[in-house]
Amino acid sequence: MSNCANVGLGNPGVNQKASIINEKLDSQIQKTGLTQCELSKKSGLSKAMICMMVNGKKTNVRPRTISRLCRALNCKPQDIFEQEENI
Domains, in order of start, for the chain: 16-77 (1.10.260.40)
Is the pLDDT score of 42 beyond 80? yes
Is the pLDDT score of 36 beyond 90? yes
pLDDT at residue 8 in the model: 33
Contacts 24+ apart (CB under 8 A), 79-84: 79/24, 79/28, 80/21, 80/24, 80/25, 80/28, 81/21, 81/24, 81/25, 82/17, 82/20, 82/21, 82/24
Q: What percent of the chain has pLDDT over 70?
A: 69
pLDDT at residue 86 in the model: 46
- 79, 3, 8, 31: which is closest to 58 by C-alpha? 8
